[in-house]
Amino acid sequence: MTGLRQYLGLWHLPGAPALLIASIVGRLGMGMTSLALLLVIEAMTGRYSVAATAGAVYAVAGAAISPVVGRLADRVGPVKVLMVTAVTHPIALIWLLLASRGGADNLPMVFVACAVAGASFPPLTAAVRNAWNELTSPASGRYGLRNTALAAETTLFEVVFVVGPLVVAGFIVFADAAAALIGVALATLVGTIAVALSPAMRGWRPHPKDSRTRGLGPLRLTGFPALLLCVAGLGIAFGVSGVAVPAFSGDHATGKEAETLAGILLAVWGVGSATGGLWFGTRRPAENLSRQFGLLLAGVGASFLVFALLPNPVALGIALVIGGALIAPALTLENMMVGRIAPPSMMNEAYTWVVTMAIGSAAAGGALAGLIVDHFGVGWAFVFAALAVGVAAVTAGRPGGSIARADTESRVRAEAGATLAAAGH
C-alpha cells in the first residue's frame, strides 16, 4: 500500500498525467520508426542493406543534433522547442514518404529526408526527465518522490520499445509500413503538443544569463564524463542483446520459430525490467547513490555472464526475467545521477547527451556483437557485454571517483535546499 500511495502522489503532481501518458504517445516513434523505415525503404529498393543505411542516417542525425537541441531548450525553454519539433518531425516523415514514391532514383532525397526527420525528433525524453527533477526538487518539498518519478519514467519509457514494433505489425496487417510512418507522425504531433502544453512544462522559468551553458557544457562537470562511460557500458550491453538473443534463438530453433522465440525472450527480459523498475520506485534510494549504482551495474554485468553459460531457451528465459529486474533500477539511478550532477541551466542538454551516448553505444555494441557471434559464438558476445557493464560498475562505484565526489556534493546541496524549504514553511 505504501508503494501505491507513492505512485498516487506522483499522479497528482502538476502536469504528471501528461508526463506519464502523453509523453509515451509522443515517443512511440522511438519504438516504431526504425522498423517501419526499414520496411518502407526495402520495399522501395528491394535491398535491406540500403534500408539499414537509411535507418543509420536517421539515427546518427538524431544523436548528433540532440545535444544542440537540448542546449537550446535550456536557453529558450522546452515548450518552444517541443512545439517546433512537434510540427517539423511529422512534416519530415511525410516528405520522406513522398520521396520514397520516386523509386531508387530518388534515394539521395530519401537520405536527406531521413536526416531531417532524425534531427527533428522532439527532445521529449530530456524534457520529461528535466520536468520530473523540477517537480521533485528539494525546494519543492517533494524530493521524496523523485525516485518514484524517475522509476516510473524509466519503466514506462521501456514500454515504447515493447509496444512500438507491435503497433507497426498492426499497421502492416491492416495497411502497410508507410501507414505506420504516418501513425508515427500523428502520435508525435499529438503527444508532444500535449506534453508541451502541460503545467509541468509551462511552469519553466528562464535561467539567469550568467548561468547559460557555453563550450562543452555538462561535459565539463565533475562526474558527468564518467557517468557517460557508464551509460555507454549499458548501451553496449543492450546492443549486444539485440543480436545475441536472436542468435541464441537461431541455435535452438529454425525459421519463424526462431524469430518468435527471440521476440518472446526479449519480451520477458522487458517484463523483468519493468517489474523491477516499478518495485524500485517504491524504495528509498541509498544515501550513497553512486555505490548503489555501481552495485546494480555489477549485478547486471553478472547476469550477462550467467546468460553465456545457459544451455537452452527455458533457462535463458528464466535468467532474463531475474537479470532484467536489475535493469530499470540501474537506469533509474542513472537518471537520478544526471539530476544530481547537472545544474538546472544544463539539465536538458545533459539528458540529451545521455540519450545520444545510449543510442551510439547500443549501435556499436550490436555491430561488435555480430562479429563476435560469427567468429566466436553467442556465449562470447554475452561475455563481451558483461565486461562492458563491469567497467561501468567499477567506474560508478569506485570510492573517491568523480561520480562519488559529484554524488557527495549533490547530497550537501540537497540537504541545504531541504533545510531552506523547511525554514520557508
The predicted model gives 340-359 an average pLDDT of 88
Judge residue 414's burial from the number of C-beta atoms within 10 Å of its C-beta, 0-12 exposed, 13-18 middle, 19 or more buried.
middle
Q: Which residue has the higher pLDDT, 214 or 246?
A: 246
CA distance 391 to 380: 17
Question: 414 falls in which pLDDT band (50, 70, 90)?
Answer: low
pTM: 0.83
The predicted model gives 110-121 an average pLDDT of 94
> DSSP code of 284?
P
Lowest model confidence (mean pLDDT) among 87-101, 196-210, 241-255, 323-337:
196-210
Domains in the chain, start-ordered, CATH in brackets?
A: 1-148+161-206 (1.20.1250), 218-425 (1.20.1250.20)
> DSSP code of 390?
H
CA distance 25 to 106: 31
pLDDT above 60: residue 417: no
Residue 327: how many CB atoms within 10 A of its CB?
Answer: 26
Question: 169 falls in which pLDDT band (50, 70, 90)?
Answer: confident
Lowest model confidence (mean pLDDT) among 87-91, 151-155, 211-215:
211-215
pLDDT above 70: residue 377: yes
Question: 123 falls in which pLDDT band (50, 70, 90)?
Answer: very high
Question: 419 falls in which pLDDT band (50, 70, 90)?
Answer: low
pLDDT at 156: 86
Judge residue 184's burial from the number of C-beta atoms within 10 Å of its C-beta, 0-12 exposed, 13-18 middle, 19 or more buried.
buried
pLDDT at 210: 53
pLDDT at 147: 86
Residue 123: how many CB atoms within 10 A of its CB?
Answer: 27
Question: 389 falls in which pLDDT band (50, 70, 90)?
Answer: very high
pLDDT in tens, 182-191: 999 999 999 9
pLDDT above 90: residue 392: yes
pLDDT at 215: 66
pLDDT at 111: 92
Q: Which residue has the higher pLDDT, 252 or 166?
A: 252
- Most confident segment among 136-140, 193-197, 253-257, 278-282: 193-197
The predicted model gives 261-276 an average pLDDT of 85
Q: Residue 333 is placed in which grid cell?
A: 539511478
Q: 391: phi > 0 → left, psi -120 to 50 → alpha, else beta; which?
A: alpha
Contact (Cβ atoms closer than 8 angstroms) between residue 383 and residue 372? no
- Most confident segment among 170-184, 220-234, 354-368, 404-418: 220-234
Question: 304 falls in which pLDDT band (50, 70, 90)?
Answer: very high
pLDDT at 297: 96
pLDDT at 94: 95
pLDDT above 90: residue 315: yes
Question: 164 falls in which pLDDT band (50, 70, 90)?
Answer: confident
Average pLDDT, the chain: 86
Contact (Cβ atoms closer than 8 angstroms) between residue 35 and residue 184? no
- Closest to 293 measured CA to CA, from 376, 371, 399, 203: 399
pLDDT in tens, 17-55: 989 999 999 999 888 888 788 888 888 887 767 887 888
Q: DSSP assignment of 106-162, as one string? A: GHHHHHHHHHHHHHTS--HHHHHHHHHHHHT-GGGT-GGGHHHHHHHHHHHHHHHHH
Looking at the chain, the whole-number percentage of residues with pLDDT higher than 70 is 92
pLDDT at 207: 61
Question: 243 falls in which pLDDT band (50, 70, 90)?
Answer: confident
The predicted model gives 392-408 an average pLDDT of 90
CA distance 208 to 268: 47
Q: 136: phi > 0 → left, psi -120 to 50 → alpha, else beta; which?
A: alpha
Question: 74 falls in which pLDDT band (50, 70, 90)?
Answer: confident
Question: 257 falls in which pLDDT band (50, 70, 90)?
Answer: confident
